[in-house]
Amino acid sequence: MEDAIREALGAQSVIRRSNGLYVVDRKKIFIKTNSSEHARLLCEGEAASLEAIHETSTVKCPKVIKVFESSRGKWNIACEFIDMEEENAAQLEKLGEEMARLHSSNPSLLKREEEAKASGDFVGEQRREGERRFGFVVPTSCGVIPQNNEWCEDWRTFFIRCRLKDRIDKIIEKYGSNELSSQWSLLERRADDLLRETDAVLPSLVHGDLWAGNWGVTKETPVVFDPSSSYSDPEFEAGIQNMFGGFGVSYTKGYDKILPRRHGWHDRRFLYLLYHNLNHWLHFGGGSYRATSLSLIHSILHPDIDSD
Ligand SMILES: Nc1ncnc2c1ncn2[C@@H]1O[C@H](COP(=O)(O)OP(=O)(O)OP(=O)(O)O)[C@@H](O)[C@H]1O
């Protein structure tokens, strides 16, 4: 591995310190390695996500140095090493603020929003310009199975086609699922109704996999890593958090200060939670992810029966 790093980074000396940490020409760098079926796509997607987040100068994330293949099928991301501390709960409010800043960070979109508002035709103006798009420059992976990030003009289409349907089709292909096949057309119609209110939403850069295991803190600030980004509705970010118990009131307080939640988020959150349960079902097979997915579909289709 050291030889491959030396060659990829054009370095004189490479010393392995611990898991992921190398000292390259006397500078600490962090190297993540992947040898799975889609290793190259995974590393390129994660690197593009880190670069996009980094460019916003909002929430801190590692700066990418290089993506390289160290041996056949073994792909790596070399990035800045960030010295992180154990304790992070006290930084949750700051993390909420930083994530809201990330979600509000698309400068050209913000500028266009102002111009469109000034012209009095907010949604129409965006559409005419053809610049209001959801998706990402490359596929990204929340796990090890790449997500379809093809550009779509509106969030409704992107979420239903590239998130929900893509996972459902793959589950049916891999495991077979009569329940999913038979409920898809109802679910698609209901999702379309629920997401109608998002038509004026501008695309926000999201981390895409921000659960408790994918952030840490330095002495000064929260850090996020392991992203699978896309330009999405910022509400989508909460899906994976809700799956693992959420970040709690401090995070929400920090977030809402910068970007208050929109009307109707409560109804839409089950859809985003469903996506992550379907993604876990696809990765790990049925069991509890299947049961939760089916129960969420039931709640989405029958909101009057199941409400919390
Ligand atoms: N740039 C970095 N500098 C220092 N430590 C890092 C850096 N990026 C990640 N880490 C540490 O390495 C651990 C694993 O990172 P990451 O989640 O990106 O890898 P992973 O292979 O996806 O791991 P997992 O399977 O546990 O999610 C993190 O918990 C974090 O503590």
Reported as a single tens digit per residue, the pLDDT across 195-216 is 999 988 889 999 999 999 999 9
- Rg of the chain in Å (alpha carbons): 20
Residue (of 145, 142, 155) closest to 239 by Cα position: 142
Ligand 1 centroid to residue 216 C-alpha, Å = 9
Ligand 1 centroid to residue 33 C-alpha, Å = 10
Q: Kindly report which listed range (10-14, 121-125, 304-308) carries the lowest average pLDDT score.
A: 121-125
**pLDDT band at 128, cuts 50/70/90?**
very low
**pLDDT band at 177, cuts 50/70/90?**
confident
pLDDT value, residue 113: 55
Q: Say yes or no to pLDDT of 240 above 70.
A: yes
- Ligand 1 contact, 81 CB (< 6 A): yes
Q: Which residues contact 5 (CB under 8 A, 6 or more apart)?
A: 11, 14, 22, 24, 31, 70, 76, 78
Please state the separation of Cα 221 from the chain's center in Å: 20
Closest approach atom of ligand 1 to CA 62: 1
More confident residue, 157 or 105: 157
Residues with catalytic roles: 209
- Ligand 1 contact, 213 CB (< 6 A): yes
Mean pLDDT of 144-148: 96
**pLDDT band at 244, cuts 50/70/90?**
confident
pLDDT value, residue 236: 96
**pLDDT band at 229, cuts 50/70/90?**
very high
The pair phi, psi for residue 3, each rounded to 5°, is: -65, -45
pLDDT > 90 fraction of the chain, expressed in percent and rounded: 76
Whether the model clears a pTM of 0.80, i.e. scores above it, the answer is yes
pLDDT value, residue 43: 97
Contact 243, 107 (CB under 8 A): no
Closest approach atom of ligand 1 to CA 21: 4
pLDDT value, residue 123: 45
Residue (of 264, 131, 133, 134) closest to 195 by Cα position: 264
pLDDT value, residue 130: 39
pLDDT in tens, 153-166: 999 999 999 999 99
- Ligand 1 contact, 227 CB (< 6 A): no
Q: Say yes or no to pLDDT of 80 above 90.
A: yes
**pLDDT band at 119, cuts 50/70/90?**
low
pLDDT value, residue 115: 61
pLDDT value, residue 243: 83
